[in-house]
Amino acid sequence: MSKISLVLGGARSGKSGFAERLAAASGRPKTYIATAQAFDVEMTTRITKHRHDRGADWTTFEAPQDIIAALNKAAANSVILIDCMTLWLSNLSLAKMDIDAETTRLLDKISHIPNPVICVSNELGMGLVPENPLGRQFRDAQGLLNQRLAKQANLAVFVAAGLPLVLKGTLP
């Protein structure tokens, strides 16, 4: 299993399911770090379904902003899946936190823990250019975050229509 894996894709591309299967194939206990927040009924329902679909054999930590605190709670022998980096970035943006500093802290932590880590992230740069400055800033920040993750990753996979395309490294 790669030390750091990045699974990219668009909305409903199958990236989360692929990342979960990758984690399960490791044979290790599984830790799920969820960055989503339930601000409405639809999102609450989505989170509940996602948790149910994963099953009871996952240890789950909710970490909308502080992924490092959740990483510190994970069992040393577990594989860790962070889903998703895009929602984490959105949460940091809404809280007006320093995205570059938080990303640097997170990447440093990921590189120094013994656990294999799988990061799920959205690829936003393939669509239309957002019509407003905030949308363009977010798209650019997401692209930079993905680049930094990909540079550090041993495995990078792009998922489209449920099909994985290896960009870097080799699938186990």
Please state, in angstroms and rounded to a whole number, the distance separating the CA atoms of residues 162 and 172: 17
Catalytic residue, candidates 50, 105, 139, 148: 50
Contact 149, 8 (CB under 8 A): no
Whether 50 is a known active-site residue: answer yes
Long-range contact pairs involving 35-41 (C-beta distance under 8 Å, separation at least 24): 35/63, 35/64, 35/67, 35/82, 35/83, 35/84, 35/85, 35/87, 35/88, 35/91, 36/64, 36/84, 36/87, 37/64, 37/87, 37/91
- Which positions are annotated as active-site residues? 50
